[in-house]
Amino acid sequence: MKTKKIVIEGMSCRHCVMAVRKELFCLPVNIKDVQIGSAEVEYDESKIDINKIYAAIREAGYEAVGNLQG
């Protein structure tokens, strides 16, 4: 399992947090935390690629711009 803390641009409120959380919930990831400006997820690289996680964040209307760690 790998853990990533992802920087997300465009989030400004609780609604933004819920929109990102909703999209991530549909993926095979363990959502550790979602806050304004970031999300931390744990995932198995053999089951999902980080690019699919970034795509889900884009689907929510925001841009994943990089990793804080991991």
Q: Is 53 within 8 Å of 41 (Cβ atoms)?
A: yes
Q: What is the three-class DSSP state of 68?
A: strand
- pLDDT over 90 percentage in the chain: 91
Q: Domains of the chain, with CATH numbers?
A: 2-69 (3.30.70.100)
What confidence score (pLDDT) does residue 68 get?
57
Residue 70, pLDDT above cutoff 80: no
Average pLDDT, integer, range 17-43:
97
Residue 61 and residue 19: Cα distance in Å, rounded? 8
Give the residue with greater pLDDT, 67 vs 16: 16
pTM: 0.89
- pLDDT over 70 percentage in the chain: 94
